[in-house]
Amino acid sequence: MQEVICTSEIQTKMFAKNLAADLNKGDVLVLSGELGAGKTKFVEGLLMHFGLQDEISSPTFTIVNEYHNEKIDVYHFDLYRLADIYEFENIGGEEYFNKGICIFEWGELIEDILPNDYIKITFEKGAEEEQRNLKIETFGTKYENMDFAKYKE
């Protein structure tokens, strides 16, 4: 478990933007944490790296929003309203894992069918209004040697 503390929205976005530089097709991120914790802001920052941030829309009414350019495909899921893991399987959710970079807000709901290798970031509100403590866990071996502190500015 690694911890990165972000003391402003911009810092969270820059952290995600810098991390995105090391992400590729097939990478899977799970974002967890209460409403308003900063998960979608993190996704905005990640999309900034790929020049896709202008298109960000919260997938409130759909399960997945897709972002594409000539370099990458990014799939942003919000599973908050997912009834159960079968609903995810029924939309062919598992087929997305290898198609591009997959990011799952509330991804703990599908923990049982996630690939072996993924990064889980749990956002916790800190003492200050704009403080967010990011608890970062890696699953499988692919990400085990990553040092996440270096992505913070």
Ligand X SMILES: Nc1ncnc2c1ncn2[C@@H]1O[C@H](COP(=O)(O)OP(=O)(O)OP(=O)(O)O)[C@@H](O)[C@H]1O
Stretch that binds Mg ion, among 39-47, 68-76, 110-118, 139-147 (CB under 5 A): 39-47
130 binding ligand X? (CB under 6 A): yes
Residue nearest to ligand X (CB): 38
How distant, in Å, are the alpha carbons of 16, 44, 128, 131 from that of 108?
Answer: 20, 20, 26, 23
Please give the residues from 31 up to 50 whose contact with ligand X meets the rule CB under 6 A.
33, 35-41
Cβ of residue 65: shortest distance to ligand X, in angstroms? 12
39 binding Mg ion? (CB under 5 A): yes
84/139 Cα distance (integer angstroms): 22
Helix (H, G, I), strand (E, B) or coil at 103: strand
Cβ of residue 144: shortest distance to ligand X, in angstroms? 26
Stretch that binds Mg ion, among 35-43, 60-68, 119-127, 144-152 (CB under 5 A): 35-43
Cβ of residue 143: shortest distance to Mg ion, in angstroms? 23
Please give the residues from 49 up to 78 whose contact with ligand X meets the rule CB under 6 A.
none
Cβ of residue 140: shortest distance to Mg ion, in angstroms? 25
Strand ranges of the sheet holding 2-6, from the earlier edge strand across to the other edge? 2-6, 132-139, 118-125, 28-32, 101-105, 73-78, 64-68
Here the contacts of 65-68 (C-beta below 8 Å, separation 24 or greater) are 68/100
Q: What is the CA radius of gyration of the chain?
A: 14
Binding residues (CB under 6 A) for ligand X: these are: 6, 8-9, 11-12, 33, 35-41, 80, 105, 130, 132
